[in-house]
Amino acid sequence: MILKDEIIREIIIAMRGTDSYNVALGIKCIDIVKNNAKDKMTDFVNLMLKKKMIKKCEKDTKRIDFEFDNVNYYFDTNNWGWEYKGNRGKCYKIIEYTLSQLNMKNDVEYVFNKIHEYEQTRTKNRQNDNREADNELQTYPDNIDDVQQYSDILKRSKNIIFRGAPGTGKTYLAKKVATNIVSDGEKNCYEYLDDNQKKQIGFVQFHPSYDYSDFVEGLRPEFRKNKDDNDKDADTHDIGFSLQPGIFKKFIYEAKKLENKNKKYVFIIDEINRGEISKIFGELLFSIDPDYRGRAGEVYTQYANMHEIGEGKFYIPDNVFIIGTMNDIDRSVDSFDFAMRRRFRFIEISAEDSQEMLDNLGEKKNEAIKRMNNLNKEIIAINELNENYQIGAAYFRRLKDMSLDELWNDSLRPLLQDYIRGMHNEKDIMRKFENAYKGKDGDSN
């Protein structure tokens, strides 16, 4: 059964980075369908597509067309708002029809008012959120309600992965979500946690040489001190090997303790697609499955024979949540393990979504957003590139300590050159990128 509050959450999440609800119905919701095809919430979006209620989406022209009862409705994403009675009525019809198909017609008013309530709160928070330029602790997302949406998804799904273009703040966001969960929604800044709460968050970054012994358990060298049989007062030393738990197993041990059973633990795996998943997780691919948490997912580890009898089994308790981050264009791996994909829910963080990170730039913010948008538009205009190659706001945050020219020369240009290396017209493409960034005419030299 689809719950109305879940629909509200999914719509609000889809609204991130947009100025109006109609964009969420169109462009963002299509992304939800693509990335979460097996999720029950996609019924809401799939129905709109099936009924051809979404007729046309044109992101570049800032417009979207809807078809309802054979009548075309045009919404301008720059001007449309809740206060416009006419458009509110048209949008109401679309929601009413969609929910009626889900046997939720009685909940129409509730759903609509909740979304309206969120929009008003979101606007108010943004108006009151003019922070000092050097205050970086509370940026992106701009309030705890935004983080809460992702936290709710993680609590239901157990495992999520933030995916997106470089510099979109995926790791930064993962830490905020983890902080929100371990603090039961009271905080969203890691620095504000106490020492015990910080121990409830684990972190590791995968890389190509990372393996099972680092993550789960393995034989590790150790320095041993032994008594000299010939001289009782002297010691001898040698090097040996012993079975040692890896970073993830140590983290799970803490979460399993009886005194911690009511606490939530979050483990963050940064750059999760850069490691060889099957080599790192091994048999734990079974245990991390959301349907097999607890003793239902108990498995013998590869070194079970080196444990005491009855101690070789391992499972992940229900109070553990996993957040991964990944960059879709990372070339260190050919493809992400498909068995792993089935066990995680993927959430895309787009370059546009990350622009809230620029709140600390003060007067430079508008210029940064303008240049970022122009450059990203030019990037996706290249046939061999797509949205995954767009540049996120994390790069532009460097403008706090750099000039616009320094950012281009030292950060953006080297990255873009790596993107297009091997293309036959590299110089022409780089000139287009530079013109877009600097606001020059496309034909200028």
- pLDDT above 90 as % of the chain: 42
| HSE of 39, CA atoms in CB hemisphere, 13 A | 24
pLDDT over 90 (residue 396): yes
Assigned token pair, 5: 């509050």
Q: How deeply is 366 buried, as exposed, middle or buried, from its count of CB atoms within 10 A (0-12, 13-18, 19+)? A: exposed
Could you tell me if residue 220 is left (phi over 0), alpha (psi between -120 and 50 degrees) or otherwise beta? Answer: beta
How is 88-137 classified by DSSP, letter by letter? Answer: HHHHHHHHHHHHHHTT-GGGHHHHHHHHHHHHHHHHHHHHT----TT--T
Report CA 210 to chain centroid distance, whole Å. 22
Hey, what are 411's tokens?
């950060």
Q: Which residue has the higher pLDDT, 81 or 46?
A: 46
Q: Are strands 345-349 and 159-164 parallel, antiparallel or unpaired?
A: parallel
The confidence band for 88, taking pLDDT boundaries of 50, 70 and 90, is very low
Residue 431: predicted pLDDT: 95
Among residues 123, 25, 19, the alpha carbon closest in space to that of 78 is found at: 19
Cα dihedral 402→407→411→414 (10° resolution): -150
Q: Which two tokens stand for residue 133?
A: 């330029």
According to the model, what pLDDT value does residue 120 have?
A: 60
Question: Which pLDDT belongs to residue 1?
Answer: 41
User: Which are the contacts of 233, defined by CB distance < 8 A and separation ≥ 6?
Assistant: none
- Among all chains, which residue has been given the structure tokens 């979500």? 177
Beta strand pairing call for 320-327 and 159-164: parallel
Place of tokens 């458009």: 87
Whether the per-residue pLDDT at 175 is higher than 70: the answer is yes
Percent of the chain with pLDDT over 70: 62
Give the pLDDT confidence of 193-250 residue by residue, as tens digits.
999 999 999 999 999 999 999 999 999 888 777 666 565 555 667 788 889 999 999 9
pLDDT digits (tens, 9 = 90+) for 234-250: 566 778 888 999 999 99
Which pair of tokens denotes residue 218?
């393995």
Q: Report which secondary-structure segment, H or E, holds 246.
A: none
Q: Identify the pLDDT of residue 27.
A: 40
Q: Residue 227: its pLDDT value, please?
A: 63
- List the beta bridge partners of residue 345: 160
Radius of gyration of the chain (CA): 25
Indicate the average pLDDT of the chain: 75
Nearby residues of 86 by Cβ (< 8 Å), 6 or more positions away = none
pLDDT at res. 312: 75
> Which residues, at least 6 apart from 322, have a Cβ–Cβ distance to it below 8 Å?
158, 159, 160, 266, 267, 268, 269, 288, 344
Cα–Cα dist 433/424, whole Å: 16
Is the model's pLDDT at 326 over the cut of 60?
yes
Sheet with 63-68, side-by-side order of all strands: 54-58, 63-68, 71-76
Which has more pLDDT, 188 or 135?
Answer: 188
Closest CA to 21 of 123, 97, 151, 149: 123
Sheet holding 159-164, edge to edge: 201-205, 265-270, 320-327, 159-164, 345-349
Query: Does residue 375 have a pLDDT over 50?
Result: yes
Q: What is the DSSP letter of 305?
A: G
Q: Which residues contact 85 (CB under 8 A, 6 or more apart)?
A: none
Please give the structure tokens belonging to residue 344: 């995680």
Dihedral sign computed on CA atoms, order 222, 223, 228, 232:
negative
By DSSP bridging, strand 54-58 and strand 63-68 are antiparallel
Distance CA 71, CA 411 (A): 49
Least confident interval from 49-58, 265-274, 299-308: 49-58
| Structure-model confidence comparison of residues 404 and 141, the more confident one | 404
Q: What is the DSSP letter of 388?
A: G
Confidence of residue 139 (pLDDT cuts 50, 70, 90): very low
Domain 154-349: give its CATH architecture: 3-Layer(aba) Sandwich (3.40)
Residue with the bigger pLDDT between 43 and 410: it is 410
Average pLDDT over residues 24-46: 43
Tell me the pLDDT band of 123, cut-offs 50, 70 and 90: low
Mean pLDDT, residues 54-69: 40
Q: HSE on the CB side for 232, CA within 13 Å?
A: 0
Higher pLDDT, 353 or 49: 353
Q: How far is CA 143 from CA 14, 149, 238, in A?
A: 16, 11, 55
405-438 pLDDT, tens digit each = 999 999 999 999 999 998 989 999 999 999 999 9
Determine how many CB atoms are found less than 10 A away from the CB of residue 57.
Answer: 18
Tokens 């910080």 correspond to: 198
Quick check: 126 pLDDT over 60?
Answer: no
